[in-house]
Amino acid sequence: MRALTSPQTAKHASWEYAEQHHAEDHILEAARRRGEDLGVTPVSEGVAATLTVLAAAMGARGLVEVGTGVGVSGLSLLRGAAPDAVLTSIDPDADHLQAARTTFKESGVPSARTRLITGRAEEVLPRLTSGGYCLVHLDADSPELDEFVEQGVRLLRPGGLLAVNDALDHDRLPRPAVREESTRRRRAVERSVRDDERLVTTMLGTGTGLLVAVKR
C-alpha cells in the first residue's frame, strides 16, 4: 500500500505536534504579540517549554541570558528555576528590555529576580563571575557568537548547562550548499562545542535547533 504522506511530511507533522505539546498561557501569548510589534522573534513554543524543563531539572539559581528580546525565553527559564533564582539578561535594545519587563511584571515575577542589563554581550559577559552560574542561554545572532560560547562556558559552574538557540540557523545548517555567514558561524560553534572535552553535548531538534551542553 502506498504511504499517504511522505516521510518528510510525517516528520514535520511530528515536529509541529511536539512544538505544541505545552500550550502557552496568555502572558506568553501577549509577549509574542509584543515581539511581532517590535520585529523580535522569541524562542519557539517548544524551545520555551524545553528551557523551563531544563531549568527545573537543574534547580537553576543563577542564570545568564544573551538576547532578552521580549522576555519569552527569560520567563520560561524563571518558571522552571528555583524560587529564589535570579536571571541576568543582556540586550542592547531599550525597547526590547522594556517589553521584557512588561512580560515579567504581568507574570508576577518580583523585580529582584531579574537583572536586566542594557548592553552588548561582548562587553558585559567578561565582567560576570567565572563559575558563578548554573545555566547560560544564548539567543542573539552576532559575529561574536563563538566568543559568547567561550564566555558562557567560563561562567558555568561544573554541572552547569549551556543552551544556544537557533543553533541550526533557521534549518539552513544541515544543507551543505548554504554558506551564509550566520550558517558558517553556527557550524563552527557546533563543531567547537562538540569537540570541547569540558562539555557533554547534544543538538535538540526543537524550534530551529537548540544546542545544549553540560560542563563536566
Ligand X SMILES: C[S@@+](CC[C@H](N)C(=O)[O-])C[C@H]1O[C@@H](n2cnc3c(N)ncnc32)[C@H](O)[C@@H]1O
Q: List interacting residues with ligand X (CB under 6 A).
A: 40-43, 66-67, 69-73, 90-93, 96, 120-122, 139-140, 142
Residue of 30, 26, 32, 34 whose CA lies nearest to 47: 32
We find the least distance from the C-beta atom of residue 72 to ligand X, in angstroms, to be 4
Report yes or no: 163 and 137 within 8 Å, Cβ to Cβ. yes
Please, which residue, 9 or 29, has the CB nearer to ligand X? 29
| Shortest distance, position 97 Cβ to ligand X, whole Å | 8
Closest to ligand X by CB, 24 or 93: 93
Q: And the C-alpha cell for 191?
A: 563543531
Q: How far is CA 59 from CA 49, 62, 94, 149, 175, in A?
A: 15, 10, 30, 22, 37
Q: How far is the CB of 129 from ligand X (least distance, A)?
A: 18
**Residue closer to ligand X, measured from CB, 13 or 180:** 180
Minimum CB separation of residue 51 from ligand X in Å reads 9
Which residue in the block uniquely carries the three cell numbers 551542553?
213
